[in-house]
Structures are given as C-alpha cells and as structure tokens.
Structure 1
Amino acid sequence: MSSEDPEQRDRKSEVDMNPPKRLRTAESHTGTELEVEKSTVDVSIIMPVYNASCWLDECLQAIVDQDFTGSMELSVFDDASTDDSRKVVEGWREKLEARLISVVVSGHYSPKPRGVGFAKNKAISQSCGQYLCFQDADDIMLPQRIRLQYDACVLHQNSLIGCRVQRVPEGSTERYTRWINTLSQHQLITQVYTSHGPTVVMPTWFCSRKWYLKVGVFDEGGKGVPEDLLFFYQSLRQGGGLSRVDECLLVYRYHEKATTHSVTEETIWKLRVDFLQERVLSQWENFTIWNAGKQGRKLYRCLSPTNQKKVKAFCDVDENKIQKGFYTYEESKERPKPKIPILHYKVASAPFVICVKLDMTGGILEENLNSLQLKEGIDFYHFN
C-alpha cells in the first residue's frame, strides 16, 4: 500500500496533467539533436488511452509506417489506465522521434477514468497540429491514411473526413460495417438519424483544428455519454460537411471492452428523435411513419405533441396491421384519443420517416422504396 497521503496523491495527479514539452528530432549543424518544437505541425494524431497496452504496439507501429511526408506529432492522453499503457507509449518515443514524429504524453492517476470526451479534449489541447487525426488505441491505421485524409481535408476545411474500414475480427458487426463502407456521399448526410450513429464513424475522423474549435469541445460527461454523436450533430448544426475517402484506411477493432458498449440504446434513441424533429420534422407540414409495428409506434409516442399532430398515417406491408385500420394512442390525455390510420405503403403519401432497419428484409424494403420512385432526403428519411 502506498505511504502517500491523499493530498500528496492528488497533487501528483494534478502535476501529471501538465504535458511535457513537445520534442522532435531535427538536423542541425552540430548533428542530430532534440529541439523544442515551437511552431505548429501539419497533423496531430489524437489518441486517448485507457488500458490499451495489449493493442498499442500494433497501433504505434502503424503510425511509424505512415507515408505522409508532412510534419506530424502524436498526442496521447492516458485516462487513468491501470495497466502499463503509458510505459508502452514511452517505449515507442525513440522510434517515433526517429521518424520525425514528435511525441507529447500526459494523463492522470485518479481512481477512475474521466471518459473518452475528456481524454480527447486533453490530447487536443496539448497538441499543436493544424489538422487532427483521431486514432483509437485499439485500431490500426493503414500507411496511406494520414496522407489521403490530409489531402481531402485541405479541400474540405469545414468537414469531418472519414474513410472505409476493415472490421476485425472478420465478420463481426457485418451489417454495420457494410453500411459504413457503402454509403454514398449523399447518404452521409441523409442517414444521420439511424441507429448506426454517425455516418462518418468516429475512429476514422480527420478534421481541421479550426473546425474542431468552431464546433466546440467533446462532451465530458464520461461513461455512458455518446460524445462522438453529440459532436457529430453539433458539427452539422454549425453547417459542417461530411466526406469519406473511399479507400480502406483503418483496421477497426471490435471487442467487448470498447467504450461504445457503455452507451445505452435509449440514450441514443432520444438524441436521434430530438435531432430528427429539429432538422426534418420541423420543416414538414405532415408525414407518414413507415412501420405500424413496435418501432413506428414508439417513434410516434416519443414525438412532441406538435409533431404527433403532423402524422397523417402509418403505412406497412403487413395485411394484419393494415386490416386493423388505425392505431389508437392509448396514453394520450386528449379526448377523444388520437386514432392514426394504417395504410398499405402503395396508397400512403410522402414524405415518410422509415422505421424499418436497412439491410434486414432481404432487399424488400429497398425494392418497395424504389418502386415508388422516391428521393432520399426529400421524400423520405431513414430513422431505424
């Protein structure tokens, strides 16, 4: 047991929050020496770390192997790891600096981690790159990642830039991975309301520092807070764009310890409903909910009273639901209770909010939508 008293430990933790000076290897007339880096670099690799020692060697080797010829730094913030993550990172300092990648590492020794949002903000605040490349410690970037995303971001200064991914273990989250990799540029914007979350997935993000500062810092609520989705929505509110480099630039690891598992489905649901109402339903005079089943009815119940009144019908393909004729909102305090017609999708009218999950009906949903010659983003939006 440590002989330090609590105050001494707290002071040590606070001191450690201050990052060391940023160093890089530089050539001088007297040979190779370490100099304090005073100017900005082109790209800061932003890496929050929490108990990631088993993945760090692969992750850091991939950073060394980048073919980007501009200046880079690695900014790591250790969020109270209880393993030897920080020691592993420090063990790579010499190799990284030999590759002219400056390294800045800090963290804290509090009893509990402060969360991914906090760690990202700290890693960014101690960095100096004009552009930010977000890298999870358990993922592996391919050699061309920074070069290609940097080139894209220079052209799209106010956008979040993503890329295609390879999911490991192979076959894990197959439907989600297919969605990430096959969205069109148009769908990056139109499908931001689905249960999949950000259409440009956080582990692939690359953006300018100026845009990050304009959007604002990540939410620091800690465990259970979807800081990526909150930032993503705020970026869109600020008029930010979305773009994807259509090459696989990241090996995206799936495992049970991933922080995404701490966020509940209900938390995500509420944020999605609120954003849909703010961005889409506020612009529509009325609309149809496509799905008279559980998910469609749940969406209806979660809408504001104003938007509930805009629902002119549910539509479906299930004859049993259609034969019922209507859905009665039993929880309503209105008298008489609202009764919403249930129609066959062929006789229902746009615009639609689609509450059927994509890629789950063997192509039937997609065929039905195509048969009506509807345009995504105008005549319908996917919600589930």
Structure 2
Amino acid sequence: MNLDNIDVSVIIPVHNGAVWLGECLASVLRQQHTLTVEVSVFLDSCKDTSEDIVQGWAVKLEDQGYVITVGKENNDKPKGVGYAKNKAVEQSHGEFLCFLDSDDVMLPTRLQRQYDLAFHSCNAIVGSRFSRDPPDSTVRYTKWANGLTAEQLTLQIYTSHGPTVIMPTWFIHHTVFERVGGFSDAGAGTPEDLIFFFTHLKRGGRVVRHDEELLIYRYHPQATTFSIHEQTIWDLRVRVIQDEVLSSWPSFTIWNAGKQGRKFYRSLTTDNQKKVMAFCDVDVKKIGSFYTYEESQEKPKPRIPMIHFKEAKPPLIICMKMELTDGVFEENLASLQLKEGTDYFHFN
C-alpha cells in the first residue's frame, strides 16, 4: 500500500495494556469500511506481554489489508500517555487520526461513520456517543456526555473532568493535531486531553459528535484518568473560564452559596472576585446573610451578599451539579428563561 494514500491512522498508545489489548485490536479487525487504514501503535516502556500481543495481531491485521506501524521505547519509567500519543501520531501516515485507548473497544461501524462526518468537518474534533463497561459505572457522567446538544458541546466545556466528547472517541484531521501542537508530554498526572481540547477551541476549532454509540469505554482502577488529581483539573478549568468568559464580564453572580460556589469564588483572581455581586441559592438559612472571604488581603475583607435565585441578575456562573435534586434545580433555572452561553455558563 502507498503510505501517501492512507485515509485513517488508528492511534493506539500502550503502556502495560496486555489485559485488554487483544480485544481492542480485535475491534479494529472487525471494522466495516471502504477506507485505507493504518494501525499506529506506540509501546511506552511496557513490562508485560503487550509487544507480543501487538505482533501477533499485526499478522492478522496485515492479512486484512491494514498497514501496521509499531514504535516503542523501553525506559525506567513510562513517559506518559500524551507522549505516547504524540509518538504514535508522528510515525503515522493517515490524513485522519482515529484515537483509541488500548483498554477500549470500537464498534464495527466506527471508522466509516466518523470518517464520513469528519471528511466534511476538517476543523473539528469529531467524537461519538459511547457505552460504559461495566454498564453501571459513571451513570450520571455518561448520561450527561451522551445527552449534550450540538450547542452544548462547546457551551458546557467547563463542567466536567474531561472534554464534552471523550478522548477515546476522537477522530480528527491531521491538521487539527498540527495546529494544536500535539498533546502535553508532561507525564503522569497531566490532563493532556483537556489541555488539547481547550487549546483546539481557543484556536478556532469546532466540536462535533456522531450520535451513534461507536465505542465501549472501559472503567477500571488502572485507567489513566485516576492518575490525575482533581485539583489539577479544577485549576485548569478555572483558568480557562476566567480567560474565555469572565474577562469580558464586568460583573456576575455565582449560583450556589454552598461549598462549591465558595470554592469557585476563592479560586478566582482578585480582579474577578471583585466582579462577584452576589451568591444566589434556595437555602433560606443562607439567604439574607453574607459570605466574608477571611483569607483575602483586601481591607476591608470582601462581604458578598447571599440572595434568592429569583433575585439574581445575569450573567451567572452556575456551580450546581445537575440531576441531584429530582429536577428542582433544573426547573428553577428554566423558570428564569435565561440563555445558556449568554446569560449563564455551567461550572459544576
């Protein structure tokens, strides 16, 4: 096969993935498509049988017309998933890149479905809906991610530990990767997918989702996501919402006078703290009182009033988690008839 005419490279970073890797590669073999496809695997300091598994499946894949490209490094410690993704992309030849984690499984129509969509969306990260394995893991998160509207894919980017389209479903044109500059290779504990996602949007990129479930997304204790500290992601989200939203607002209200709302306030720069006019809530024990920021170096220390949500004036940053109040919060928000992305943004 001419390496200059490959439609899609499936990008698979691997570190000690032997438990799941065979099923992952089998899902590539089961793909139903009319494309020229390369499988680009990078083995990042594997100490298990991952390399043997890849070599065994390479023969089967090559027999079915796939190009197989395998790279590896053997260091004392792995250099991390961002580094491995970058290396797998660097050695690949496809016009489009289909990302696949070694512990996940593609459904048979994934490559063709996403290629058909991405072909007309070359400036986009194209994701898809997904199912979880086991099915009862992260139920609220899965429902949220799969249920976002096309508009919310870019409006609710500050609300979660990860992008609005999960990384293992990404399908992009190679120029998207080049424009962002690849993934952070800072190593373990770095949310490389979220950093890439925010950079992509900042540089004018779009987000699109195929509305079929095209991936089985595994949940297990060894998953890379568990190596990333929650505070690291929180700090990144706060920094981006300040740059992209709060920088253009002269004032705003925080919806949630409790723990999450106050944490968000304390995380802001002093300039943005000064823009907070009020906290709003439904708790009668809070309404009418003030929140005093004791750690502030300002004199006098800031005292922020707590008001009823019906008295709040937009714009608002909403620090409430969804679907935890049997629909009461959602009804309260809807009653104000505000427009998401103009009058409010979620940060929960």
Question: Shorter-chain-normalised TM-score: which range?
Answer: over 0.9
Q: Give the structure 1 partner of residue 33 of structure 2.
A: 68
1:179 is paired with a residue of what secondary structure?
helix
1:295 is paired with a residue of what secondary structure?
helix
Hey, what's the Cα distance between the residues in 1 that align with 2:316 and 2:49? 52
Matching residue within 330, 335, 357 for 2:299: 335
Answer whether contact 2:255 2:317 (CA < 8 A) is retained: yes
Hey, what's the Cα distance between the residues in 2 that align with 1:85 and 1:199? 30
Answer whether contact 1:176 1:196 (CA < 8 A) is retained: no
C-alpha displacement at 1:56, in angstroms?
Answer: 1.5
Q: Give the structure 2 partner of residue 16 of structure 1.
A: none
C-alpha displacement at 1:359, in angstroms?
Answer: 1.9
Q: TM-score, normalised by structure 2?
A: 0.98
Counterpart amino acid of residue 383 in structure 1: F
Q: Give the structure 2 partner of residue 105 of structure 1.
A: 70
Hey, what's the Cα distance between the residues in 2 that align with 1:212 and 1:157? 11
Counterpart amino acid of residue 199 in structure 1: T
**1:360 and 2:313 aligned:** no
Q: Give the structure 1 partner of residue 133 of structure 2.
A: 168
Q: Give the structure 2 partner of residue 369 of structure 1.
A: 333
Q: How does 1:167-246 map to 2 (within 5 A)?
A: 167-246=132-211
Counterpart amino acid of residue 89 in structure 2: I
Answer whether contact 1:49 1:79 (CA < 8 A) is retained: yes
Q: Give the structure 1 partner of residue 104 of structure 2.
A: 139
**1:344 and 2:333 aligned:** no
Hey, what's the Cα distance between the residues in 1 that align with 2:51 and 2:102? 12
Hey, what's the Cα distance between the residues in 1 that align with 2:160 and 2:122? 27
1:127 is paired with a residue of what secondary structure?
coil
1:321 is paired with a residue of what secondary structure?
coil
C-alpha displacement at 1:61, in angstroms?
Answer: 1.1
Taking a change above 3 Å as real, the CA distance of residues 145 and 38 of structure 1, as seen in their structure-2 partners, is: closer
Hey, what's the Cα distance between the residues in 1 that align with 2:232 and 2:198? 14
Answer whether contact 2:161 2:233 (CA < 8 A) is retained: no
Hey, what's the Cα distance between the residues in 2 that align with 1:171 and 1:124? 33
Answer whether contact 2:3 2:93 (CA < 8 A) is retained: no
Q: How does 1:267-346 map to 2 (within 5 A)?
A: 267-323=232-288, 325-346=289-310
1:210 is paired with a residue of what secondary structure?
helix
C-alpha displacement at 1:233, in angstroms?
Answer: 0.5
C-alpha displacement at 1:197, in angstroms?
Answer: 2.0
C-alpha displacement at 1:127, in angstroms?
Answer: 0.2
List gaps (5 residues or longer) in structure 1: 1-23, 25-36
2:187 is paired with a residue of what secondary structure?
coil
Hey, what's the Cα distance between the residues in 1 that align with 2:196 and 2:294? 36
| Identity percentage of aligned residues | 54
| Aligned positions, number | 348
1:39 is paired with a residue of what secondary structure?
helix
Matching residue within 75, 80, 100 for 2:45: 80
Hey, what's the Cα distance between the residues in 1 that align with 2:187 and 2:324? 33
List gaps (5 residues or longer) in structure 2: none
Matching residue within 96, 99, 107 for 2:61: 96
**1:378 and 2:335 aligned:** no
C-alpha displacement at 1:329, in angstroms?
Answer: 1.1
CA RMSD after TM alignment: 0.9
2:287 is paired with a residue of what secondary structure?
helix
2:286 is paired with a residue of what secondary structure?
helix
C-alpha displacement at 1:195, in angstroms?
Answer: 2.8
